[in-house]
Amino acid sequence: MFEKSLYDLIRGLRNHKGGEREYIQESIRECRKEIRGSDMDLKATALLKLTYLEMFGHDMSWASFHVLEVISSQKFAQKRVGYLAAVQSFRQDTEVLMLAENQLKKDLTSPSLTTISLPLIAVPHVINPSMANSLLSDILPRLTHSSPLIRKKTIVTLYRLALVYPETLRPAWPRIKERLQDENENPSVTAAVVNVICELGWRRPQDFLPLAPRLFDLLVQGGNNWMAIKIIKLFATLTPLEPRLVKKLLPPLTNIIKTTPAMSLLYECIHGIIQGGILASIEGTVEGDEIAKLCVGKLRSMLVIEGDPNLKYVSLLAFESIVSSHPQLVSLHQDVILECIDDPDISIRTRALDLVVGLVSPDNLVSIIARLMRQLRNAPIESALADPENDRGYHGGVVPYADSDDSEAEESLRPAEIRSDQAPPLPEDYRINVIRRIIEMCARDTYANINDFDWYIDVLVQLVRVCPSVKGTTGAMEYTGGGHSLTSDDISYDIGRELRNVAVRVKSVRPEVTEAAQSLVLVDTRDKMFTVSGNGGQGVLEAAAWIVGEYANLATNPQAVMTSLLHPSTINLPNQTLATFIQAVPKVFAHLSGSDSISWTPERKTIVSLLVARVIHFLEPLAMHPDLEVQERAVEYLELMRLSSEAASAQETGDTHGDFADPPLLLTQAIPSLFMGMELNPVAPGAQKRVTPPDQLDLDAPINNSLQSLLRQAEYDSALGSDVEDEVSRAYYEKPSTRPEPVAAADRLEQPKSEYTSYQRSAEEEYLDPDIVARRKAERRERHKDDPFYIPAEGSGTSTPNVLRTNNGEEVDIDSIPIMDLDLSQAGQIRDRSPGPAPPKQKTRRNFEILTDENLGSEDVSSLESARPELVLPRSSAKGKKALLQLDSSGLGSLSLDEDGDHVSKLDIERREQEEAEMAKAIKEVERMRLEMQRANERIEAKHLPPEGTVVKRKKKKPKAKVEGNDTPTVDEGGEAIVVKKKKKAKKPVEGTDALVEGAADGEPDAKPKKKKKRRLISLDEPSGS
Amino acid sequence: MINAVLVFNNSGQPRLTKFYTQLETSVQQRLISEIFTLVANRPNSSCNFLPLPPLLANSSKSTTPGAQHNDTPSLVTYRHYATLYFIVISTSTESPLALLDFIQVFVEALDRLFENVCELDLIFNFETLHATLGEMIVGGVVVETGLDKVVEGVRSQGKVAKRPVNESKGGLTLSGFGRGEVPWAGR
């Protein structure tokens, strides 16, 4: 009956080509009417139709109550429609769920197999913690249902209950384990248990170690490749915990690798060996070398196999996980891996790209980069059509238009394979990824792989041109303070940072970098430097502007640079870039006007005055800029320029032909000294933290004991406006006894701040007070001797980098490279200390001197690790957002499956069961104890008498040994559980762990039951004897 | 685990959507269309694994690597049969090659149930499509991969309806979908 109606709907859709939207609205209206009626058939049909439309994005959350009505139908077909609708349409906030509980319970206990299945399948989709708690008692018994169909589904449903409410796993786990241990269990059910354990396994692998023997048997028995794959995956998480497993696993895994016809199993074996750290743990042994060679060899043949891109893909995945631990093994297969970079399939390319990053060396860097650059250059920029944001469905719901009856017509909709000479367009994120990887490979270990920096600069400049354009940032960024986070996603900023890094670190190519930066900054050449389409690469301007400013003396055409910096289009740049441009302006200005060797002729005066006027003209509107950083810099330099203007006009000019006339000191001394005093060197990110505060500086001491009350006072004063009501208000507002300790005020002050100011104060004073700069220059130099972040320009004589370069030419004498001794152990005498030489840490590569980060003390590994990635890729920090589609299982991580300890909250079912179980347990225990006593007596007769105090312990332990050895698995579980619990209470923690370790050892799968029993007895006797 | 199973046709119209975590309808639709964009541009010679669609890539990037790693969907596997794409989104606890086999079993089961299945069968019997999937996956965990048992399970729920007589057309041509004869068959 209802099929016909859904059929009608679908047919109707086909007959309303072009008018689907109206037709659907009409149909939904009908459904609303039908679903409210009392006719169950009609209701169910309407619901089915709604579910169908939901698939296309049409909301049906309003019908959730009707879903429940249909679920409660007596007819299976209708019930099924109801459950389907619930699964498809219920969301986290669906409120009627509470009402569904009783119905679910009822269906779970139905005599009909198919009816039980419905709630079992639906529950994982709709479950919430409170429901999990109450449904548990109904679902748990289904684990022993006579039909394997029900049992296997129940296992998974229990797993999903545990995900939302981890405590439910405690009562469920022993029963699930029972299913696994039962050798007569239906293989489908066993496979389902293995699947669930594989999901649970990586969260709490230690809980699953005891299952290793059974899992091992299942693996060796073979027969089910699906299950074998899961078991191998599970073992990969267990081996790190139990190294002895490695030895055990190797023979069967090797066997599988050599014999299996199933490629998926072969692959997972190799993957498991890598993932489980098996390769690493047996490295060096003959076996280890053999297995490593076997794995890599198989992976290689997967890679070169013709016509199966899937194998290519997965073998690259496996290579990737192996490359960090065994780079030399992987690099043997470089030839085939490098081929994959140019694979037509973008998925394979991406994998290969990730892989080569681990393979790069000075020898192959250039060829790898060349391949990637070729890709970037030759592929056209992706068209806007392929942009996912233009896709239908992005802006609104998808309208299901009429289905075509004609298969040919559908066939033709498929895009023809692009097989022209032109490379297919590269997706944008791939493009960005390639650029990022190129930079990462080149910058690794402070350019350890780079032999030719001129080449690298060319690469970087080229990268700017192939940068993908950035969408919709310019408008949004202009007036928001949050512009920074937006722009830092742009890959061109990373390129810029790289350029700057090279400029700072590699002095010998600084002129070349400056030249490149200049060409990027110059307005005239910008067209050539950046991509024709879009605004890609603009982010590099920030770093380029910094470079031309900082190294203005190296720029070949400072006049043109100045013109470009002051160009009207500059104002349209993003705020951060604009601020950098403003900063670069006075630097270039200082270079242009600051010469003190040229006489102050009228001609020079005019030129300087004109330049100053241009700068002022540029800065004036920016003094009102909405961005604070831009505004502040503009205001400061504006004042400086006005002073310069005054100084320039006030200074008497000399005769054109006559004697030398002094130019104004402000121009020749003061302004240049603002920017050119010291060389800027790279500083390790961790260095600031290592600066130890001076001994005398007690950061915990209150600066002013009455600060709190002063602040409070100020607050009241401003709040009340007068102190007439002071007495009254104080009585009301001031908490007399709970006033915080005065010390707290000092605590709240940021500690690093005080250090910061102590180092930077001098510089700030100069910025604020430029008039006195010249007068204090000498003083400042003296002070800077103490500043760890500056290398003094004069003084010790050997340490000026320029001197070094001219003295040594391109061949650098390592020993003479200046290194500041930043040992601050005598921090107290920081002011009096003078810099001394320290042993050089850096290496030189050929004729390039690369500065490493300056740091304090010895470079320890941890600080390096944290420093390196930041150096190249300071990406936006991770957001704490949960991933889409992600099912959070973190709750399971904290749940212990051991049955020890007091449970804070008992589940309903646990409480009920506990009462019953306790009675049964007690009876069993008594019986066991009696048996045990009997045996113990026998043994005592045979052996020496143990010391008195340990008898109790032995009694407690022995039941475990006995039960595990002899009984059937079912009884075994119960017995073990009790004993573990008892034992935990009776024993000291140390002994407890000992016993656990022994237990794991005994769990080795090959041990025959009888043998096991014997061994166990021995191992348990040992502690009692000692 | 498996996070979602999707089936859509060559023009991106969904035929089956099953998400094993609750997701807003609009986000579902967006994800479908993103995946369709990715998959539709791939030539038949490409491998069956997709890069993560932007929606998933962004969210998985934001989580810290390591602890959360196995919870995040990291694998998008697809197969293309005649007019339909079958897509499985899963975490790293699933084996990529086994998932390909899984899709194959799913399609074979449908083929057995409908006798030479075609897209139209699935359109008009989307309940059966869901029931078949329900026999194979519960709550994102694979419970059955045996073809016979799946078919048996679906049939036990009632007679599988045939497509309307006048709608018949060529099937999904099980034998002919490209690399149908899986050399690494996991069964």
The CA R_g of chain B, rounded to the nearest whole Å, is 16
Contact assessment for residue A195 and residue A185, using Cβ atoms and an 8 Å cutoff: no
Fold of A104-201: Leucine-rich Repeat Variant (1.25.10)
Q: Which of B16, B20, B25, B117 has the most A C-beta neighbours within 10 Å, making it the best mutation to test the interface with A?
A: B25
Alpha-carbon gap, residue A766 to A107, rounded angstroms: 82
Taking only residues 134 to 163 of chain B, the set having a beta carbon closer than 8 angstroms to any beta carbon of chain A reads: 134, 138-146, 149, 153, 156-158, 161
CB contact (8 A) between residue A310 and residue B100: yes
**What confidence score (pLDDT) does residue B2 get?**
92
Chain A CB contacts of B183 under 8 Å are: 263, 308
**What confidence score (pLDDT) does residue A987 get?**
45
- Identify the sign of the CA torsion B30, B34, B37, B43: negative
**What confidence score (pLDDT) does residue A718 get?**
64
**What confidence score (pLDDT) does residue A532 get?**
52
Alpha-carbon gap, residue B34 to A112, rounded angstroms: 41
Using CA atoms, how far residue A275 sits from A194, A234, A317, A330, in Å, is: 19, 10, 11, 15
Extract long-range pairs of A6-10: CB within 8 Å, 24+ residues apart: A6/A45, A6/A48, A6/A49, A6/A52, A6/B124, A7/B124, A7/B164, A9/A49, A9/A52, A10/A52, A10/A403, A10/B123, A10/B124
Alpha-carbon gap, residue A334 to A339, rounded angstroms: 8
CB contact (8 A) between residue B139 and residue A400: no
**What confidence score (pLDDT) does residue A856 get?**
66
- Tell me the percentage of chain A whose pLDDT exceeds 70: 64
CB contact (8 A) between residue A345 and residue B185: no
Q: Which residue of B has its CA nearest to A193?
A: B143
Fold of B2-161: Beta-Lactamase (3.30.450)
Q: What is the CA A68 to chain-centroid distance, rounded?
A: 41
**Residue among A114, A313, A394 minimizing CB distance to B47:** A313
Contact assessment for residue A136 and residue A104, using Cβ atoms and an 8 Å cutoff: no
Token pair 């055409």 in the structure block, residue: A557
Chain B CB contacts of A414 under 8 Å are: 10, 40
Q: What is the mean pLDDT of residues A30-41?
A: 87
Q: Which residue of A has its CA nearest to B49?
A: A347
Alpha-carbon gap, residue A19 to A25, rounded angstroms: 10
pLDDT digits (tens, 9 = 90+) for A449-491: 888 888 888 888 888 877 777 654 443 333 333 334 344 467 8
Which of A215, A186, A316, A230 lies closest to B1, judged by CA?
Answer: A230
Which of A804, A582, A589 lies closest to A676, judged by CA?
Answer: A589
Q: What is the mean pLDDT of chain A?
A: 72
**What confidence score (pLDDT) does residue B106 get?**
94
Count of H-run helices and E-run strands, chain A:
51, 2
Q: Is the pLDDT of residue A1012 over 80?
A: no
**What confidence score (pLDDT) does residue A241 get?**
85
pLDDT digits (tens, 9 = 90+) for A328-375: 888 888 888 888 888 888 888 888 888 888 888 888 888 888 888 888
Q: Among the listed ranges A85-94, B98-107, B140-149, which one has the minimum average pLDDT value?
A: A85-94
Q: Is the pLDDT of residue A425 over 80?
A: no
**Residue among B30, B50, B100 minimizing CB distance to A393:** B30
pLDDT digits (tens, 9 = 90+) for A292-328: 888 888 888 888 876 688 888 988 888 888 887 788 8
Alpha-carbon gap, residue A863 to A686, rounded angstroms: 6
CB contact (8 A) between residue B62 and residue A881: yes
CB contact (8 A) between residue A125 and residue B89: no
Return the number of CB contacts < 8 Å for A and B: 293
**Residue among B19, B61, B144 minimizing CB distance to A152:** B144
| 3-class SS letters over A475-535 | HHHHCCCCHHHHHCCCHHHHHHHHHHHHHHHEHHHHHHHHHHHHHHHCHHHHHHHCCCCCC
**What confidence score (pLDDT) does residue B62 get?**
44
**Residue among A188, A427, A885 minimizing CB distance to B21:** A885
Asked if the C-beta of B167 comes within 8 angstroms of chain A's C-beta atoms, the answer is yes
Work out the end-to-end distance of chain A between its first and last CA atoms, rounded to an integer number of angstroms. Answer: 80
pLDDT digits (tens, 9 = 90+) for A972-1000: 444 444 444 444 444 444 444 444 444 44
Number of Cβ atoms within 10 Å of the Cβ of A750: 9
**What confidence score (pLDDT) does residue A377 get?**
79
Alpha-carbon gap, residue A452 to A450, rounded angstroms: 6
Beta bridge partners of B19: B4
pLDDT band for A781, please (50, 70, 90 cuts).
Answer: low
Using CA atoms, how far residue A265 sits from A257, A262, A299, A741, B97, in Å, is: 8, 5, 13, 67, 9
Number of Cβ atoms within 10 Å of the Cβ of A1: 9
Which of A411, A391, A419 lies closest to B37, judged by CA?
Answer: A391
- Identify the sign of the CA torsion A967, A968, A971, A973: positive
Alpha-carbon gap, residue A154 to A118, rounded angstroms: 11
**What confidence score (pLDDT) does residue B179 get?**
38
Contact assessment for residue B15 and residue B126, using Cβ atoms and an 8 Å cutoff: yes
Backbone angles phi, psi at A203, to 5 degrees: -75, -45
Chain A CB contacts of B70 under 8 Å are: 202-203, 889
Using CA atoms, how far residue A68 sits from A84, A100, A103, A154, A176, in Å, is: 11, 6, 8, 22, 31
Contact assessment for residue B10 and residue B82, using Cβ atoms and an 8 Å cutoff: no
**What confidence score (pLDDT) does residue A404 get?**
41
Taking only residues 401 to 420 of chain A, the set having a beta carbon closer than 8 angstroms to any beta carbon of chain B reads: 401, 403, 405, 407, 410-411, 413-415, 417-419
CB contact (8 A) between residue B143 and residue A188: yes
Structure tokens at A327: 């780079």
**What confidence score (pLDDT) does residue A595 get?**
79
Work out the end-to-end distance of chain B between its first and last CA atoms, rounded to an integer number of angstroms. Answer: 19
| Shortest alpha-carbon distance between residue A172 and chain B (Å) | 17
Q: Is the pLDDT of residue A385 over 50?
A: no
Q: Domain segments of chain B: what residues?
A: 2-161
Q: Is the pLDDT of residue A742 over 50?
A: no
Contact assessment for residue B92 and residue B75, using Cβ atoms and an 8 Å cutoff: yes
| Shortest alpha-carbon distance between residue A42 and chain B (Å) | 17
Element (H, E) at A437: helix A428-447
**What confidence score (pLDDT) does residue A814 get?**
52
Q: Is the pLDDT of residue A806 over 50?
A: no
**What confidence score (pLDDT) does residue A707 get?**
79
Contacts of A208 (CB under 8 A, 6+ apart): A197, A200, A201, A234, A238
Q: Is the pLDDT of residue B87 over 90?
A: yes
pLDDT digits (tens, 9 = 90+) for A481-526: 333 434 446 788 888 888 998 998 888 889 999 988 988 888 877 7
Residues of A105-129 as b/e, b for ≥16 C-beta within 10 angstroms?
eebbeeeeebbbbbbbbbbbbbbee
Contact assessment for residue A594 and residue A644, using Cβ atoms and an 8 Å cutoff: no
**What confidence score (pLDDT) does residue A800 get?**
39
Q: What is the mean pLDDT of residues A890-916?
A: 61
Alpha-carbon gap, residue A242 to B43, rounded angstroms: 45
Helix (H, G, I), strand (E, B) or coil at A312: helix
Q: Domain segments of chain A: what residues?
A: 1-95, 104-201, 205-278, 360-391+424-467+484-555, 566-676, 681-687+770-851, 908-1025
| 3-class SS letters over chain B | CEEEEEEEECCCCEEEEEECCCCCHHHHHHHHHHHHHHHHCCCCCCCCEECCCHHHHHHHHHCCCCCCHHHCCCEEEEEEECCEEEEEEECCCCCHHHHHHHHHHHHHHHHHHHCCCCHHHHHHCHHHHHHHHHHHEECCEECCCCHHHHHHHHHCCCCCCCCCHHHCCCCCCHHHCCCCCCCCCCC
Number of Cβ atoms within 10 Å of the Cβ of A653: 16
Asked if the C-beta of A589 comes within 8 angstroms of chain B's C-beta atoms, the answer is no
Using CA atoms, how far residue A153 sits from A147, A405, B94, in Å, is: 10, 38, 18
**What confidence score (pLDDT) does residue A658 get?**
65
Asked if the C-beta of B104 comes within 8 angstroms of chain A's C-beta atoms, the answer is no
Number of Cβ atoms within 10 Å of the Cβ of B27: 13
Q: Which residue of A has its CA nearest to B158?
A: A77
pLDDT digits (tens, 9 = 90+) for B18-77: 999 888 888 899 999 999 988 888 888 888 998 888 888 765 544 444 444 677 888 899
Backbone angles phi, psi at A735, to 5 degrees: -90, 110
Which of A333, A439, A323 lies closest to A376, judged by CA?
Answer: A439
Burial grade of A861 (CB within 10 A; 0-12, 13-18, 19 or more): exposed
Contact assessment for residue A245 and residue A213, using Cβ atoms and an 8 Å cutoff: no
> DSSP labels for A600-645?
--HHHHHHHHHHHHHHHHHHHHHTT-SSHHHHHHHHHHHHHHHHHH
Q: What is the mean pLDDT of residues A267-276?
A: 88
**What confidence score (pLDDT) does residue A866 get?**
42
**What confidence score (pLDDT) does residue A242 get?**
84
pLDDT band for A656, please (50, 70, 90 cuts).
Answer: low
Q: What is the mean pLDDT of residues B110-117?
A: 88
Asked if the C-beta of B48 comes within 8 angstroms of chain A's C-beta atoms, the answer is yes
pLDDT digits (tens, 9 = 90+) for A182-228: 888 888 999 999 999 888 887 778 888 888 889 999 998 877 889 99
Contacts of B180 (CB under 8 A, 6+ apart): B104, B174
**What confidence score (pLDDT) does residue A744 get?**
42
CB contact (8 A) between residue B187 and residue A411: no
CB contact (8 A) between residue B97 and residue A347: no
**What confidence score (pLDDT) does residue B79 get?**
92
Beta bridge partners of B49: B77
**What confidence score (pLDDT) does residue B77 get?**
93
Helix (H, G, I), strand (E, B) or coil at A542: helix
Specify the amino acid at residue A490: D
Does residue A598 or residue A801 have the better pLDDT?
A598
Q: Is the pLDDT of residue A240 over 80?
A: yes
Alpha-carbon gap, residue A891 to A903, rounded angstroms: 16
Alpha-carbon gap, residue A241 to A209, rounded angstroms: 8
